[in-house]
C-alpha cells in the first residue's frame, strides 16, 4: 500500500524535479496528481515512464490525499497550503512562507529528521532555503563533534535559484553579447549576470543585509542550534545549476582537518572529494543531477584558535529544493504515516 501524493507547481523547475526524484527513488505511490495554475492546465509532464496531465490547483480537492509537495511562491502557498492542510493532507512547502513559524518544523532530514514529528500543529513542514540546506548538511556532523561558535559564509549561487527566468536571462544575455545585433534587456536581475557576479539576492534589509543572507542566519539557528553565530554574503553567479559556498567555521573545541575529513566522509548526505592537486575538488557543473552535498578544500584556518575552511557544492534544484522535500516525505512515511 502506497501514498496518494500531490505535486503543486508541477510545471516549474522544482516541481518537475520533485516528480523526477519521486520516480528515481521509487517513493511508494498509489496515486499522484500534478497541479498547476489554470494557464498551464493540461500540460503534459513526465513521471518516470508515465505522462501526467496537470490539473487545476484552484479547484482541486485535497481530501483523502496523504502528502502535498508545494513548489509555488509564497502568495499561492498562503492561499492553498492551509486549504490542503485542513483536509488532513500533510503539506511539505518549498517556499519561505512558513520557515520561521515556530509551529512549523523546518527540516533537513540528515540534520534534524525527528523535527517532522512537530508537523501536527499546522499539518505543514517547511523546506529550508537552498543555500542553507547544503550548508547545514556539512555543518551538523562537525557541530556534533566540536560545537560551532561562528560561521562566515560566502555563496556563489546559480541562476536556477531564480527559477526559469534566471536560466533564460543568463542564456539570452550571453547570446546577446556574442551577437551584438540582439537587442536584449532583462528585468530578472538589477545588473547583467552574464560574465558578471551580483552581490545581491532577494531584497535589501535595514541593516544592509539581503533577505537571502538573513535566511541563512535564521534557518541555520532553527535547524542546528540557536547559539551559532552566522554571517553571510550571498552572490549570484553566471552558473546555470549548482550552488557553491566558501565556509569558514570557528569551533569551541579544536578539530583537526584530518578528523574533520573523516567525519564528513561518514556523514549522511555528504561526499568528500578533497585532493590537494589540480582538479581535486568539486565544482558546480560536476554536481548537477546528483543527490550529494560535495565537500572539498578542507583545511585549517591558522588565523583563529579552532578554525576550519571548507568548500561546499550541491545541485540547488535537488538537495536545495526537490530532493529535500522528497526526503522529508520519506521520513514522514517511516515515522508517521507508515505505509508503503
Task: Give per-residue pLDDT as tens, 139-166.
Answer: 999 999 999 999 999 999 999 999 999 9
The reply to whether 262 falls in a domain is yes
Q: In angstroms, what CA-CA distances link 2 with 31, 43, 67, 233, 338?
A: 8, 25, 11, 43, 9
Q: Same structural domain for residues 123 and 253?
A: no
Three-state secondary-structure class, residue 72: coil
What band does 340 get if pLDDT is binned at 50, 70 and 90?
Answer: low
d(CA 248, CA 87): 45
Task: Give per-residue pLDDT as tens, 38-83.
Answer: 888 889 999 999 999 999 999 999 999 999 999 999 999 999 999 9
Contact predicate 328/223, CB 8 Å: no
Q: Same structural domain for residues 94 and 153?
A: no
d(CA 86, CA 34): 20
Nearest in space to 188 (alpha carbons), one of 155, 164, 206, 211: 164
Average pLDDT, the chain: 96
Q: Same structural domain for residues 16 and 83?
A: yes
User: Catalytic pick from 89, 143, 234, 243?
Assistant: 243
Task: Give per-residue pLDDT as tens, 186-245.
Answer: 889 999 999 999 999 999 999 999 999 999 999 999 999 999 999 999 999 999 999 999
Q: Same structural domain for residues 272 and 255?
A: yes
The pLDDT score that the predictor gives to residue 277 is 98
Residues making up the annotated binding site are 11-14, 39-40, 99, 157, 160-161, 236, 316
Q: Widest CA span of the chain, in angstroms?
A: 59
- DSSP one-letter string for 99-159: TT-TTS-B--HHHHGGGGGGGGGTTEEEPPPHHHHHHHHHHHHHHHHH-EEEEEEEEEE-G
CATH number reported for the structural domain that contains residue 330 in this entry: 3.40.50.720
Residues making up the annotated binding site for phosphate are 99
The reply to whether 226 falls in a domain is yes
Q: Same structural domain for residues 248 and 325?
A: no
Residues making up the annotated binding site for substrate are 157, 236
The pLDDT score that the predictor gives to residue 180 is 81
Close Cβ partners of 152 (under 8 Å, ≥ 6 residues apart): 231, 232, 247, 248
Rounded to 5 degrees, what angle do the CA atoms 30, 36, 173 make?
A: 125
The reply to whether 170 falls in a domain is no
The reply to whether 176 falls in a domain is no
Residues making up the annotated binding site for NADP(+) are 11-14, 39-40, 160-161, 316
Q: Which domain holds residue 25?
A: 3-127+321-336
d(CA 154, CA 140): 18
Q: Same structural domain for residues 14 and 147?
A: no
Residue 249, phi then psi, degrees to nearest 5: -120, 130
What band does 175 get if pLDDT is binned at 50, 70 and 90?
Answer: very high
Nearest in space to 125 (alpha carbons), one of 340, 324, 339: 324
What band does 1 get if pLDDT is binned at 50, 70 and 90?
Answer: confident
**C-alpha grid cell for residue 271?**
561526499
The reply to whether 70 falls in a domain is yes
What band does 338 get if pLDDT is binned at 50, 70 and 90?
Answer: confident
User: Catalytic pick from 89, 130, 234, 270?
Assistant: 130
Three-state secondary-structure class, residue 40: helix
130 has catalytic annotation: yes
234 has catalytic annotation: no
Contact predicate 240/305, CB 8 Å: no
Q: Same structural domain for residues 225 and 299?
A: yes
d(CA 97, CA 85): 14
**pTM across the whole model:** 0.94
- Residue 93: is its pLDDT beyond 70? yes
Helix residue spans in the chain (DSSP H):
13-24, 74-86, 109-112, 130-146, 164-178, 211-223, 257-266, 284-287, 323-332
Contact predicate 263/137, CB 8 Å: no
Number of domains in the chain: 2
Amino acid at each position: 500500500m502506497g501514498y496518494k501524493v500531490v505535486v503543486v507547481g508541477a510545471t516549474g523547475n522544482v516541481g518537475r524535479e520533485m516528480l523526477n526524484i519521486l520516480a528515481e527513488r521509487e517513493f511508494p505511490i498509489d496515486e499522484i496528481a500534478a497541479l498547476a495554475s489554470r494557464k498551464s492546465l493540461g500540460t503534459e509532464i513526465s513521471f518516470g515512464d508515465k505522462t501526467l496531465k496537470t490539473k487545476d490547483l484552484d479547484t482541486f480537492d485535497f481530501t483523502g490525499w496523504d502528502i502535498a509537495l508545494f513548489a509555488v511562491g509564497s502568495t499561492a502557498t498562503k492561499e492553498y497550503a492551509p486549504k490542503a492542510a485542513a483536509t488532513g493532507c500533510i503539506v511539505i512547502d518549498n517556499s519561505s512562507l512558513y520557515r520561521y513559524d515556530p509551529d512549523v518544523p523546518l527540516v533537513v532530514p540528515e540534520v534534524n529528521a525527528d523535527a517532522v514529528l512537530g508537523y501536527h500543529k499546522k499539518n505543514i513542514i517547511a523546506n529550508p532555503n537552498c543555500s542553507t540546506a547544503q550548508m547545514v548538511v556539512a555543518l551538523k556532523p562537525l557541530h556534533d563533534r566540536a560545537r560551532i561558535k561562528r560561521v562566515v559564509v560566502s555563496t556563489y549561487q546559480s541562476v536556477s535559484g531564480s527559477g526559469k527566468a534566471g536560466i533564460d536571462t543568463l542564456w539570452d544575455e550571453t547570446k546577446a553579447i556574442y551577437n551584438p545585433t540582439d537587442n536584449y534587456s532583462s528585468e530578472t536581475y538589477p545588473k547583467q549576470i552574464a560574465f558578471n557576479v551580483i552581490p545581491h539576492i532577494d531584497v535589501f534589509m535595514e541593516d544592509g543585509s539581503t533577505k537571502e543572507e538573513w535566511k541563512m542566519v535564521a534557518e541555520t539557528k532553527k535547524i542546528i542550534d540557536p547559539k551559532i553565530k552566522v554571517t553571510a554574503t550571498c552572490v549570484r553567479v553566471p552558473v546555470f545549476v549548482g550552488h557553491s559556498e566558501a565556509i569558514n567555521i570557528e569551533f569551541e573545541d579544536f578539530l583537526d582537518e584530518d578528523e574533520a575529513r573523516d567525519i564528513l566522509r561518514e556523514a549522511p548526505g555528504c561526499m568528500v572529494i578533497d585532493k590537494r592537486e589540480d582538479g581535486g575538488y568539486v565544482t558546480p557543473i560536476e554536481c548537477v543531477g546528483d543527490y550529494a552535498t560535495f565537500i572539498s578544500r578542507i583545511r585549517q584556518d591558522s588565523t583563529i584558535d579552532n578554525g576550519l575552511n571548507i568548500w561546499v557544492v550541491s545541485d540547488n534544484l535537488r538537495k536545495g529544493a526537490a530532493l529535500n522535500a522528497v526526503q522529508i516525505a520519506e521520513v514522514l512515511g517511516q515515522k508517521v504515516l507508515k505505509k508503503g
